[in-house]
Amino acid sequence: MRVRLAAVKLSIDRPRLALLLLAALLGVGIWAYRGVGDSLRELRATSMVTLLNTQIEALEQWIAEGRHEAEQLAADAELSATVGRLIRHGAGGEEGGRIIERVLQAAGGIGITAAHVIDGKGNVLASSDAARIGQTVTPDFFANLAPALAGRSIFIRPYRGGAMGINPLQLGSVWIAAPVRDARGKVLALLALGSPAAAGFADLFKAARPGSSGESFAFDADGWLVSESRHIEELRSRGLVAGASKGIAPLRLLVAQDDTARLTRLAATAIAARLGEESQRAGVLLDPYVGYLDREVIGAWRWLSELDLGVAVEMHAAEAYAPLRYLQIAFMVLLAMILLVWLSVFLPAETLDRLLRRKPGQQIGPYRVIRQIGAGAISNVYLAEHRLLKRPVALKVLKPQASSDEWIARFEREVQSTSLLRHPNTITIYEYGRGPNGLFYYAMEYLEGLSLADLVERYGPVPPARTAYILRQACASLWEAHSCGLVHRDIKPQNIMLCEISGERDVVKVLDFGLVKQVSGVATRDLTGSMRILGTPLYMSPERIRNPADADARADIYALGAVGFHLLTGRRLFETETEHDLTYHVLHEEPRLASDCSPFAVPAELDALIGRCLEKDPAARPQNIAEVAGALDALLVHAPWTRRQIDAWWEKNWVAADSPERRFSTTRY
């Protein structure tokens, strides 16, 4: 009898339970749908901004390489002598033709198709186009050349209709100009190098095309594209553009509204913001708007004032938010299934268990990712844990967009080179492999501390004794690397960490051997050969700037001297506004003494040691890292950084927190 009553009661409770579950899941479904929608928008915004930044970095790197090439060509002694004679005796002649032909041969590898030598009054002294010799450039173009005549190389973006041309220059070309100096450094004239915008410049924007509809492009202050549209064939078929099949067809970012043509929302917003504050010259448009193809798109943009153009990334909204459409379908299917379950008054336990099951953290090889702790141009770094050993590691994962043969080779070389090193002051590599979707990764020891860049930024200049103590440990790491025939080539404050390890404090760890070069043995191929200069110019020795492949142990000694200067002074070795000015200073200007800039009384021996490390001529520097280490040992005998000083600093500035990034206070010395 009791069993029958229990069965009747259960039959009554099941419909109510199923109805309550239906209502609860409906509420959770709506909440999840909105949450996923918001998350997708945030994810899309992040991905588009990242892609935009990558595109701008590629553009800036391309311009920097072109300017560097132009500066090297303009510095040729024979060109300078020829220009001097042309100024004295008149433009043209066989001598001018020969020097221009030589310039074109030297620059042919970077796509240069035209070259001109222009004096300080705008007269064309020599040119790859004989008809231009003796003519005067247009006032607009000459105004753009002013910085080059003042001694700085410049980039001139493509303009429509040859408005910036030499009566006029080639339609749709980009130009790079560099000053030509005499033996005393006085600017005689400038060398202008031109290449078709439809070649190298436009190709830069073809690489950043996400999905099947996304594209990256550049535009001017009137809303005209100065790069090629991904949809050019569709535009031609619809009669929206005219022009030949080669080159960049004229196209304006317009949309039909109220029987009138207006700039697209992205173009209008960017152009309106170009004269505002720097913080206002970038944005993301996640609400769909009509693009120049009359389809709804979303986009991200930034106005580059120095180049006087905007760069944008756009993608069709239907493709960008396609996951939401699939989510809508899945949500409706789920509701139908729940309704059927309610109608049948039956919800199996295994179904409930499946609905409530939690997804584990992402697995990369044998590691479970906990959170992201860093990001770079080609890789991300995550805090992770070994699935079996439960050991925390820093997991460096190569980004999919950086998985070219060149970067994979560089990534593998970083792992293989670092794994050869066993010194306690060098970061330890555990293993290397491939994760989901073939992503390359390697696991290294997880460090708790801060980089030397963060140390100076938070606490100001470092006392001389502690500076010597830190540099001595960095020497120990480099000593082992140099003994193995390896040159780091990217020593800088960001790549040296100050850590607490198993109770030992002020322990230095040298990181990031991604630009390491083997100077002995069979594996001597320099991967920077095809990628120009890689690294940080502020900490790059002059010989590395002149020839990226020319680097021995003395290049690391120079960089270590620059790090020491930064620690003692809290300032940059050279204070310049642009990277090109910085490069000039590294090559030609003598650095200041650390004692002139430091708030501390810098010992003369330490001041002299850093000065020797920073000599332009490698032969004038200490010839090996052991010599630097010996000098630092002698300094530390007379002015030690003691255990009591170390403990006092860490106890004063170490703040317990859940996140390692927040473990330091901001108290200064």
Please tell me whether the peptide bond between 603 and the residue prior to it is cis, using omega within 30 degrees of 0: no
- Inter-helix orientation angle 625-638/464-483, to 10°: 150
Sheet holding 114-119, edge to edge: 124-127, 114-119, 187-196, 173-181, 154-156
SS3 210: coil
Distance from the Cα of residue 633 to its chain's centroid: 37
Q: Which of 220, 490, 512, 556 is catalytic?
A: 490
Q: What angle do CA 106, 111, 114 make, to 5 degrees?
A: 75
Exposure string of 329-338, with b = 16+ CB inside 10 Å and e = fewer, is eebeeeeeeb
DSSP assignment of 95-141 equals HHHHHHHHHHHHHGGGT--EEEEEETTSBEEEESSGGGTT-B--HHH
**3-state SS assignment for residue 242:** coil
How many other C-beta atoms can be found within 10 angstroms of the C-beta atom of residue 204?
A: 19
How far separated are the first and last CA of the chain, in Å rounded?
Answer: 84
- In the structure encoding, which two tokens stand for residue 33, read together? 């749908």
Rounded CA separation 328/324 (Å): 6
Q: Degrees (nearest 5) of the Cα angle 619, 622, 623?
A: 65
**CA 72 – CA 583 distance, rounded (Å):** 12
**Packed helices 93-107 and 77-89: angle between N→C axes, nearest 10 degrees:** 150
Distance CA 105, CA 108 (A): 5
Q: Which two tokens stand for residue 509?
A: 């760890």
Instruction: Based on the residue annotation, tell me whether 490 is a catalytic residue of this protein.
Output: yes
Q: Judge whether 88 and 96 are in contact, CB under 8 Å.
A: no
CA distance to 264, 475, 541, per residue, from 496 (Å): 47, 11, 18
Amino acid in the structure at residue 106: A
DSSP result, 369-391: EEEEEEE-SSEEEEEEEETTT--
DSSP state of 254: E
Check: CB of residue 145 under 8 Å from CB of residue 192. Answer: yes
Give Cα 456 to chain centroid, integer Å: 22
Residue 5's identity, in one-letter code, is: L
Q: Kindly tell me the sign of the dihedral angle through the C-alpha atoms of 548, 550, 556, 561.
A: negative
d(CA 50, CA 46): 6
350 alpha carbon, distance to own chain's centre: 49
Number of neighbouring beta carbons within 10 Å of residue 382: 22
In this structure, the dihedral spanned by the alpha carbons of residues 99, 104, 106 and 109, taken in order and rounded to 10 degrees, is 180
- Strand 260-263 with 254-257, pairing: antiparallel
* Cα separation, 661 vs 669, whole angstroms: 20
* The token pair that represents 274 in the structure block: 């170009």
CA atoms of 175 and 200, how far apart (whole Å): 12
Question: Concatenated DSSP letters for 400-448?
Answer: GGG-SHHHHHHHHHHHHHHHT---TTBPPEEEEEE-GGG-EEEEEE---
Cite the active site residues: 490
